[in-house]
Every structure is written in structure tokens, then in C-alpha cells.
Amino acid sequence: MHSIKIIIADDHPLFRGALRQILGDIAGHADIVEAGTFEAAQAAASEHPDADLMLLDLSMPGVSGFSGLMSMRTTFPHLPITIVSATDDGATVRRVLELGASGFISKSAGLDEIRQAIETVLEGGIWTPHGVEHDIEEDPAVTELMERLKTLTPQQSRVLSMLAEGLLNKQIAYELGVSEATIKAHVSAILLKLNVDSRTQAVIKLGKINMALVA
């Protein structure tokens, strides 16, 4: 296998170390970039556009649940992303695949299974945990909401995530380096796309998608 570059985005140093060891077994000369927060993961993806894969934890400082995957997929559409999470129920696996992930690896998986999963994704395949039923029909309302969330632009996804963190428009504007008027426009677009009347309702909608996740 040619030399590969992989971004490991996880806030647990021990687990990042375990993944680094596995990647070393797969490709001895792998270029590995580590990130312990979502902001650092975004920076790594920007600084390494030639990365072959990102291993992304769903529960990281700076992001709420599936919002991180949504933002990464829209901001870096050509970067394959595999979710690595301790929350490995069928609904969670189904949702990450619907949102464009290249695979899902359970943190409870053995080393051999994790190694096989990474090799499968690097070869262009899709990986899901053994024994997980992810094709079970979901609540139609949740399915519709997922489709609506996928219409958000990268900036709108980020704004929605920051709304969920309780930030005010002026705080979001400061964090993103834009005007408050721009944020108001983004919020209006988000409300329209999610078919809700207020930012509170938008945050509640996002919470319905994230409710299955645990830290």
C-alpha cells in the first residue's frame, strides 16, 4: 500500500495511541495527524487536504453529536470520514451512514476488527460493525429531519451547532469572524430549511437526532 495520511480526531489520548499503533501495522510509513478537539480536527483537515482518511469520534469537545460529521462532510466533501464511537446501536450507525460517513467503527471492537475496518475503508469500501442491524426502518419524522439537515451549508451547520451550545448571534458572529447580520441571515435560512419558527425549535430538532448519543 502506498504511503497514507490519516487524521485521528478523538479526545482520548490513549485511544488515539491505540489507533496509531494499528495504523502502524497497516502501513509502516503512515503519516498520522492527531486532533483532540473538533476545532483541531477542522484545522487538520484544512492543513492536510491530501489526507486519505479521517477517523472521527462523535463525542468531542467543541461539537454536538452528529453536527460534527455534518459539518466535516459539507466542508471537506472529498475527505473520507469513518466514525469511531462507543455509541454503536443500529440507529446511530444508520444515521452516520446516511450523513455520508465511509464507515462506522465501534470502540468496543477488537484490534483485528478495527484493523480490518480501516483497511476496508482505505480500499474504498464501507464498513459497519459485525452484528449491528442498521437497516431497520426509523421513525419517518426522523428520516425527514435527517434529509432537511443534509440541506444545510457548512456554515449553516456550524451556526446550528453553536446555537445548540447556547451562543447568541453576536457571539457566533465573533467566533466565525462575520457580521451579526450575516448570522441572522444564516439563522433565518436554517429555520426555513428545518421548517421551524424559532431558534429554540431548531435546537430541539437537532437534539432529537443527537438524543441517542452518550458522552
Question: Assign residue 100 a region: left if phi > 0, alpha if psi is -120 to 50, beta otherwise?
Answer: left
3-state secondary structure of 197: coil
Residue range 70-80, pLDDT digits in tens: 888 878 888 99
Cα radius of gyration rounded to whole Å, the chain: 17
Confidence of residue 215 (pLDDT cuts 50, 70, 90): very low
Global pTM reads: 0.75
Alpha-carbon separation of residue 33 from 57, 97, 115, 199 (angstroms): 14, 24, 18, 36
In CATH terms, is domain 140-210 a member of 3.40.50.11900?
no
Q: Give the pLDDT of residue 179.
A: 95
Q: Give the pLDDT of residue 99.
A: 84
| CATH entry, 5-122, from 3.40.50.2300, 3.40.50.300, 3.40.190.10, 3.40.50.1820 | 3.40.50.2300
Q: What percent of the chain has pLDDT over 70?
A: 90
Does 208 or 214 have the greater pLDDT score? 208
Question: Does the pLDDT value for residue 100 go beyond 60?
Answer: yes
